[in-house]
A and B are shown apart, each in its own frame.
Chain A
Amino acid sequence: MISFNMVTKIYPHNIISLRDITVNIEKGEFVFLIGPTGSGKTTFLRLIYREIKPTRGSVYVMGENLAKMKERKIPFLRRQIGFVFQDFKLLPYKTVYENIAFALEVIGYNPAEINARVNEILERVGLSHRKDLLPYQLSGGERQRVAIARALVNDPPILLADEPTGNLDFEAAKNILDLLVEANLHGTTVLVATHNREIVNSLRKRVIALKDGVLVRDDKEGTYDAQA
């Protein structure tokens, strides 16, 4: 599904953010990406949705070499990938419903289908009763659920989340993770970059750890800290 082959990413000013990363993520996996701040987690995710290109090495997503992908095909790659960010990235002047519908409108769904899908996903994340509110009228956890609903509304094969629980307390964070796990059960490949020790330890999924841009650990049913 996603594979990195000796990937090195060097930002301007010679900042090396990833070094010779080789890793394979299969279809249907659930993976935590952990590491201290500045270790390269966000860079890793940005490579997958072709926000940036690797300096050396290659990244394959669903069989496509992203370095060779034509600029105008990028939107179609992104339709296969849902995103969730720490800061939600909701449009402040659109309601909950409109924020989610927007993701379908811009990829050309017809109105009837949009209506059906948005209502269904709102049900799934438990926000049907909030659909006409604006983002500022919601709690942090609710906002993140809207973002997850938007990421999942077109059933993408891949879901990327960059610190989706960063601003939330444990209860809200758990709730978010439940949604991600549920999506994973539906067959979506999920990749979550996080600092949240409790969440990682409670779920016992695959853990990939980065440190200073180097892959230092890849455990099958891992924990946040290396086991002795």
Chain B
Amino acid sequence: MMHKLKYFLREAFKGLWRHGFMSLLTVTTIFIVLFLVGLFLLVGINIRFSVESLSQSLEIRLVLKGDPTPQEIQRVYDKILSLDGVKEAKFVSRGEGLRRLAKEIGREDLLNLLKTNPLPDVFEIKVKKAADIDNIVSVVNNWKEVQEVIYGKEAARKLLAIQRLLLYGGGVLALILLASALLVIFNTIRLVVYARREEIEIMKLVGATHWFIRLPFLFEGVILGGLGGGFAAAALFFVYKEALKFVLANFPFIPLIGDMRFLYELCGFIALGGLLIGLGGGLFAVQRLLGKVAVE
């Protein structure tokens, strides 16, 4: 068993070395493809992140009619929380509203000045996604306790448009990227297959089992894919860290994700992707070769 394992590893490394140019080409291809995929994901995730944080700052203000009792206020509060897409709701009484206003204009004696409080009771609702705003507004508009609904109609519309663009544009881009990645990898495999067909033909003739033929190829695939994926992950890690530094220093208002956990996960995902591409590509290549001898 040990000498078989040694044989597979030795053959794998010899094969990689012998076909040095092909090996280099394959690692480079996988590196480029995965680096681009990773970059795409990094940009996409960050844009989503900022759009989401923007959506969450969108607010619906629910102005209540007249002078509701605490029970009525509680009922409205429960109804709001039971709506889809509501992140949180906060009750701001007319007293609280006046205190805020007084603070904003810097006149602590505002109530004395006005004699009576002209402000209504209000609920401030925060949503999870910009897309939910329209729905929520149309529902709460029909409630009898509600006097008026105030929200950033334009802002919501624009955010929605951006999100839609990102979704479709990103989807199309992702498809193009995926298709070209597959094409490039497929072509690389064809070259590898062409370079190796003689070797496999002879292995078959002298009675090697399919698994015996496959294994060195799979080892090679995993080594090449792992290298390509590993380099891509390292490059992405470096690029993002530098980008984070740069943006923080020059454009601090752009909300990039600062939590490094997501970067670790993404890089791990990319490296794993490389391994799998290598394994799958190796298997695919050797399968094509094994199938070459037609059995009519």
Contacts and interface: CB of A to CB of B under 8 A. Distances in A.
A67 to B, nearest CB: 10
A76 B18 contact: no
Contact of A106 (B206, B295, B296): B206
Interface residues of A, number: 28
Interface residues of B, number: 22
Given A89-B202, A108-B4, A110-B3, A72 B296 contact: no
Interface string B207-226: 11110110000000000000
A51 B210 CA distance: 15
B296 A150 contact: no
A41 interface: no
B7 interface: yes
B207 A76 contact: yes
A107 to B, nearest CB: 5
B198 A91 contact: yes
Nearest to A52: B296
Nearest to A107: B207
B209 A150 contact: no
Given A89-B201, A91-B198, A91-B199, A107 B296 contact: no
B7 to A, nearest CB: 6
Contacts of A106: 203, 206-208, 212-213
Given A11-B296, A52-B295, A52-B296, A75 B207 contact: yes
Interface string B179-197: 0000000000000000000
A206 B220 CA distance: 48
A105 interface: yes
B81 to A, nearest CB: 63
Q: Among B198, B203, B206, B213, find the residue whose CB has the most chain A CB atoms closer than 10 A.
A: B206
A71 B213 CA distance: 15
B114 interface: no
B205 interface: yes
A78 B210 contact: no
Contacts of A102: 202-203, 206
Nearest to B6: A111
Nearest to B18: A93
A78 B204 CA distance: 8
* Interface SS of chain B: helix
B293 interface: yes
Interface in A99-128: 102-103, 105-108, 110-111
B293 A75 contact: no
Contacts of A150: 206
B294 to A, nearest CB: 8
B19 to A, nearest CB: 10
Contacts of B295: 50-53, 71
Interface in A195-218: none
A102 B31 CA distance: 33
Contacts of B7: 105
A79 interface: yes
A83 interface: yes
A72 B203 CA distance: 14
Contact of B205 (A52, A78, A111): A78
A63 interface: no
B217 to A, nearest CB: 13
Interface in B3-22: 3-4, 7, 18
B210 A72 contact: yes
Nearest to A103: B206
B161 to A, nearest CB: 58
A224 B206 CA distance: 31
A106 B204 CA distance: 9
Contacts of A50: 295
A105 B206 CA distance: 10
A54 B136 CA distance: 74
A51 B206 contact: no
Contact of A53 (B18, B213, B296): B296
A12 B295 CA distance: 12
Contacts of A51: 293, 295
Contact of B3 (A55, A83, A103, A111): A111
11 contacts: A50-B295, A51-B295, A52-B295, A75-B208, A76-B207, A77-B207, A79-B206, A89-B202, A105-B7, A106-B208, A107-B206
Given A91-B202, A102-B206, 18 more contacts: A49-B205, A51-B295, A53-B296, A55-B296, A72-B209, A75-B207, A75-B208, A75-B209, A76-B207, A78-B205, A78-B207, A79-B206, A83-B206, A105-B7, A106-B203, A106-B207, A106-B213, A108-B4
Interface of B: 3-4, 7, 18, 198-199, 201-210, 212-213, 293-296
Closest 7 CB pairs of A and B: A106-B208, A78-B207, A79-B207, A103-B206, A75-B207, A75-B209, A52-B296
